[in-house]
C-alpha cells in the first residue's frame, strides 16, 4: 500500500474557488424564504402558546395561504434582487 495523498491540493482549491461565484456562507438577505418566515412570525405565529405542534402547523398553514393569496412570495423574491429567469432581468434593464 502506498502513502495516502490528499484528494485536492491547496492550489487546486484556490483555482477552483477563483473560478466559482463567491457567495457568502449564510446570506439571509439573498434567501426569499427568510421573508416568508418573517411574515409568519410577525402575524400567524406571533405570541402563540399552543399545547400541540398540530396547532402551530395549522397556524403556519393559514399564514402560507395568506402569503399565496396576497402574492407576497413575489415581493419576498423582489426584496432579494434575484430573478426567476432572464426575462425578469431584461425587464429590470439589468442586461
At 92 the pLDDT is: 59
Question: What is the model's pTM?
Answer: 0.56
pLDDT digits (tens, 9 = 90+) for 33-47: 888 899 999 999 999
At 95 the pLDDT is: 43
pLDDT band at 85 (very low <50, low <70, confident <90, very high): low
d(CA 71, CA 65): 10
Answer for the pair 40, 34: CB distance below 8 angstroms, yes or no: no
Residue 75 has pLDDT above 50, yes or no: yes
Sign of the torsion formed by the C-alpha atoms of 72, 73, 75 and 80:
positive
- Residue 40: count other Cβ atoms within 10 Å of its Cβ: 19
Amino acid at each position: 500500500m502506498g502513502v495516502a495523498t490528499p484528494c485536492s491540493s491547496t492550489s487546486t482549491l484556490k483555482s477552483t474557488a477563483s473560478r466559482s461565484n463567491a457567495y457568502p456562507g449564510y446570506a439571509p438577505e439573498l434567501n426569499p424564504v427568510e421573508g416568508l418566515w418573517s411574515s409568519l412570525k410577525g402575524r400567524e405565529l406571533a405570541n402563540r402558546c399552543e399545547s400541540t405542534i398540530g396547532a402551530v402547523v395549522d397556524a403556519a398553514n393559514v399564514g402560507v395561504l395568506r402569503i399565496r393569496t396576497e402574492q407576497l412570495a413575489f415581493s419576498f423574491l423582489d426584496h432579494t434582487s434575484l430573478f426567476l429567469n432572464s426575462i425578469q432581468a431584461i425587464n429590470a434593464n439589468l442586461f
